[in-house]
Amino acid sequence: MTDAVPTARGKGLARSAGALAGLKVIDLTRVLGGPYCTMVLSDHGAEVIKLEPPQGDEVRDWGPPFDEKGDASYFLGVNRNKRSVGLDLAKPEGRQVLLRLLEGADVLVENFKPGSMEKWGIGYEQTLRDRFPRLIHCRVSGFGADGPNGGFPGYDAVLQAMTGLMSINGTEDSGPTRLGNPIVDIATGLFSAIAILMALQERQRSGQGQFLDMTLHDCGMALLHPHAANYFLNGRRPVPTGNPHPNLAPYSKFRTRTCEIFVAAGNDPAFRKFCEFLGIPEVARDERFATNGARVTNRAALTEILERRFAEEDGHELTRRMLQAGLPAGPVLHVDEAMAAGHTAHREMVTELGGYRGLGTPIKMSRTPGGTRAAPPRFAEHTEEVLASHGFSAEEIRALREAGVLVEARRR
């Protein structure tokens, strides 16, 4: 069971049953947004039963790299602490299995194309609300079911493009550029987890579940600060600015002798302290740089001065001294360097259990800490275990398997 505290040795492991112990989640999601949401819940004790289609979650194939059993890193990174059941919902008997598993469930998360659940006769308004009045049904989709783009498929990069995120990323030379990680999918997973927790809190008062309509479109739009706020106020189209912040200076990347660094002076007193530390107090007194508004206007001249000042410095040593002086700064690390950093280990942001390694949970709780409880499941690894715990007899399980409703090996 995923609500148990692991006894194996490792790093970033759960040390309690978790804040969400006792919560039962039926997970019909694939790819990233939905699975990211349910992993957040499972890290903190929720029992997550992942019902995979006969082909399995397609990101099991999104590699290389692959592990020794053939599962891709993309799958392994967002599916720990879950149990997998291979189930064909296209068959009426498969939908009956789902309905039995929903008995006593708190949350259903799915990311089918809008209308799919209704086509199968198990939509929220159609069936689930009356049959399971306390159920929270969270649907993750690209655009929702209606409106000009309703029902259209959604993928992270497409939504980065359509919500304006690409238009503010990159430089004048590069033009609109996709963010290097699937930020819309991840944000949708996080917003969905927040929505589920809100609905659970409301259910404490009302005793009723509800339907949560979560879309990549809306969650991508919600990430546009401060660019949308700037546009609402000045009416000017935001453009890519590269590393510099559109509203602050200096807040950017600079070259040093040993590495690139990023420095951030968030207000005028901080900038004066920054200049004193660097031995250039006269720069803070220059009217071109005395206020943040002036620094943003004269960003190019300020950048030239700072580039000269940083040119012969050891960036790692310099930023360490800056941090010790209370000045926000840091070296620009590659992913492997960030994984190996001492503070990463201290914060248990790399988790290990057996042969599994992944990013640890960022949610740190004092009494009910979460973390890794089990490695990501193999396809259909827990089918018999899950069904038996929900009252299915050995004969029923055998009959469902023989009918192709339960799937033991992925269909290619």
Q: For the chain, how many helices (H) and strands (E)?
A: 18, 12
pLDDT of residue 3: 43
Q: Which residues fall within 8 angstroms of residue 2, CB to CB, at 6 or more apart?
A: 42, 45, 46, 47, 48, 81, 82, 83, 373, 374
Which CATH number describes the domain made up of 10-223+346-402? 3.40.50.10540
Would you say residue 4 has pLDDT above 60?
no
- Residue ranges of the chain that CATH labels 3.30.1540.10: 260-331
**Catalytically annotated residue among 43, 57, 185, 286:** 185
Q: How far apart are CA 264 and CA 243, in angstroms?
A: 11
Helix H or strand E encompassing 294: helix 292-297
- In contact, 367 and 9? CB cutoff 8 Å: no
- In contact, 216 and 142? CB cutoff 8 Å: yes
Q: Collapse the DSSP code of 28 into the 3-class scheme (helix H, G, I; strand E, B; otherwise coil) and give the result.
A: strand
pLDDT digits (tens, 9 = 90+) for 324-337: 999 999 999 999 99
The proportion of the chain whose per-residue pLDDT surpasses 70, expressed as a percent, equals 98
Give the C-alpha distances (Å, rounded to integers) separating 144 from 34, 39, 158, 228, 310.
Answer: 14, 23, 15, 22, 49
Would you say residue 109 has pLDDT above 70?
yes
- Mutual angle of helices 156-163 and 183-206, in 10-degree steps: 90
The proportion of the chain whose per-residue pLDDT surpasses 90, expressed as a percent, equals 95
pLDDT of residue 7: 53
Indicate the residue type of 125. Answer: E
pLDDT bracket for residue 318 (50, 70, 90): very high
Average pLDDT, the chain: 95
pLDDT of residue 392: 97
Statement: 260-331 belongs to CATH 3.40.50.720: no
Would you say residue 9 has pLDDT above 90?
no
Would you say residue 2 has pLDDT above 50?
no
Q: Any catalytic annotation for residue 185?
A: yes
pLDDT digits (tens, 9 = 90+) for 50-81: 999 999 999 999 999 999 999 999 999 999 99
Q: How far apart are CA 106 and CA 208, in angstroms?
A: 11
- Residue ranges of the chain that CATH labels 3.40.50.10540: 10-223+346-402
pLDDT digits (tens, 9 = 90+) for 254-287: 999 999 999 999 899 999 999 999 999 999 999 9
Q: Collapse the DSSP code of 84 into the 3-class scheme (helix H, G, I; strand E, B; otherwise coil) and give the result.
A: strand
pLDDT bracket for residue 5 (50, 70, 90): low
Q: How far apart are CA 266 and CA 382, in angstroms?
A: 51
pTM score of the predicted model: 0.93
